[in-house]
Amino acid sequence: MDVTALLRSVAAFGVSETSVPGPPEPLDSGDWDELITHVQWHRITHLLAEAVSSGVFPTTDVQFAGAIEADIVALTGALCLEAQLVDVAELLDDVGISFRVLKGPAVAHLDYADPAWRHFGDLDLLIPSDALEEAIRMLIGLGYARRFPQPRDGFDRRFTKSVSLDGPDGQQLDLHRTLAAGGFGHRIVPSMLWNAPSSRFTLGGRDFDALGAEERFLHACYHLVLGNAPPRLVPQRDIAEMLHNDTVAGDRVLIIASAWQGKAILARAITTTADNLRLSTDHPLVAWAREFKPSRREQRELARATSPRYSYVAQAIDSVPAIHGSRDRLAYVSALAFPRRSYLRGRHSGAGARVRHALSGALNVLKESRD
């Protein structure tokens, strides 16, 4: 069984203009179990359920029931997270903290014809940098717990990508300052996310603001390229839906990507999606991505950032040159080189790693300062 090919067939179901067939006959039970495990990890259980219901993916009766059951489990999880989102939104409203809904719920309601087709496993909210600490404090007061402490006071507000919180019932909530980590992430301009017109959707009797269509598209691209190794298929499906619906203005996407120095990310995400899901859309962004040639610097940084061995330390080192201003760079390096003791528990706690990190970061700071 070629599990990768089957997973891509499932992820492309209903959006690929070319017919992507399932297996010629039902898989044996071992292969099926393996497939279901991967489908759940990629969060495409509804796509599998639709594929088996339509008959393009043949199954035994037991496998058919298993596909539907896996989908209902994922659907139930998404509903619980949406209810949590309504709760958290009220809390943030009460203290006057604005936010934008990112990824799962926003994409499900704005970019898919039916939100049932898009599952998600956590909540992600973009919070203004200057309100991040207050939002964290408030949620901790209500029983949420940080997964990791910040290395030094003020680090979240100035440098972090996001802060992960575990809710009282075990649900995960990520509060984002920006959309990605590492050098590519630090070159994203958060104010552009707030100044752009938002998209709006209704859930649980209230309206929610999400990123605008182009910013949402770029976030899906960054998430695909930098988010998981190996990359999940669900952001590829998100990108395919947005291209397929033609809701994304290509020229505006390119302007934003250029401002963020993220064209290499954008091109990689689009070509990966178009190849894996066999898209035959004539959206101009696909043609642009196929023609795009990244610079040598972009190629090197992209190769590092997408390597399975891309460590937290390497990510921090790539971040240094992307941080504006020598003072901020030094503050970033010193926070990671000499963090609070609590921050080191469970992280790169070896003295060697920390010293290497600090030295490399400092060298980069000096190099950038000279440049």
Partner 1 sequence: MLVRYQRAAGAVWRNAHGCAFVLPQPGSEIVVLAGTGHDLWRLLAEPMSIDQVAHCLAETYDVPADAVTRDVAPILDELASRGVLDEE
The smaller minimum CB distance to partner 1, of residues 76 and 307, is found at: 76
DSSP secondary structure letters along 161-205: SEEEEE-TTS-EEEEESSS--HHHHHTS-HHHHHHSPPEEEEETT
Q: Which of 47, 71, 92, 183 binds partner 1 (CB under 8 A)?
A: 71
Q: Does 68 bind partner 1 (CB under 8 A)?
A: yes
Find the largest Cα–Cα distance for the chain: 68
Token pair recorded at residue 76: 């139930």
CA–CA dist 144, 371 (Å, integer): 44
Q: Does 93 bind partner 1 (CB under 8 A)?
A: no
Q: Does 331 bind partner 1 (CB under 8 A)?
A: no
Minimum CB–partner distance for residue 18 and partner 1 (Å): 26
The smaller minimum CB distance to partner 1, of residues 105 and 231, is found at: 105
Q: Does 287 bind partner 1 (CB under 8 A)?
A: no
Q: Does 73 bind partner 1 (CB under 8 A)?
A: no
Q: Does 141 bind partner 1 (CB under 8 A)?
A: no
Minimum CB–partner distance for residue 271 and partner 1 (Å): 32
The smaller minimum CB distance to partner 1, of residues 203 and 286, is found at: 203
Residue type for position 124:
D
Select from 200, 261, 248, 192 the least CA-distant residue to 220: 248
Minimum CB–partner distance for residue 34 and partner 1 (Å): 24
CA–CA dist 351, 357 (Å, integer): 10
CA–CA dist 26, 98 (Å, integer): 50
Q: Which of 17, 93, 114, 130 binds partner 1 (CB under 8 A)?
A: 114
With contacts defined by CB under 8 A, how many residues of the chain interact with partner 1? Answer: 22
CA–CA dist 82, 203 (Å, integer): 8
205-234 positions binding partner 1, by CB under 8 A: 205
What is the distance in angstroms between the CA of the first residue and the CA of the last residue of the chain?
53
Task: Give the number of C-alpha atoms closer than 13 A to the C-alpha of residue 65, restricted to the C-beta side.
Answer: 3
The smaller minimum CB distance to partner 1, of residues 64 and 292, is found at: 64
Minimum CB–partner distance for residue 86 and partner 1 (Å): 7
DSSP strand pairing (172-176 vs 199-203): unpaired
The smaller minimum CB distance to partner 1, of residues 71 and 215, is found at: 71
**Contact of 343 with 163, CB cutoff 8 Å:** no
The smaller minimum CB distance to partner 1, of residues 69 and 275, is found at: 69
The smaller minimum CB distance to partner 1, of residues 82 and 298, is found at: 82
Residue 299: count of CB within 10 angstroms of its CB: 12
Selected range binding partner 1 among 26-34, 36-44, 113-121, 328-336, rule: CB under 8 A? 113-121
Q: Does 145 bind partner 1 (CB under 8 A)?
A: no
Selected range binding partner 1 among 80-88, 122-130, 135-143, 227-235, rule: CB under 8 A? 80-88
Task: Give the number of C-alpha atoms closer than 13 A to the C-alpha of residue 236, restricted to the C-beta side.
Answer: 29
- Burial of residue 2, with CB atoms counted within 10 A of its CB: 0-12 exposed, 13-18 middle, 19 or more buried: exposed
Residue 79: count of CB within 10 angstroms of its CB: 10
The smaller minimum CB distance to partner 1, of residues 90 and 275, is found at: 90
**Contact of 200 with 209, CB cutoff 8 Å:** yes
Q: Does 78 bind partner 1 (CB under 8 A)?
A: yes
Minimum CB–partner distance for residue 109 and partner 1 (Å): 10
Q: Does 204 bind partner 1 (CB under 8 A)?
A: yes
Residues forming beta bridges with residue 210, ordered by sequence position: 101, 199
The smaller minimum CB distance to partner 1, of residues 87 and 251, is found at: 87
Query: Which residues contact partner 1 (rule: CB under 8 A)?
Result: 46, 49, 53, 68, 71-72, 75-76, 78-80, 82-84, 86-87, 114-116, 203-205
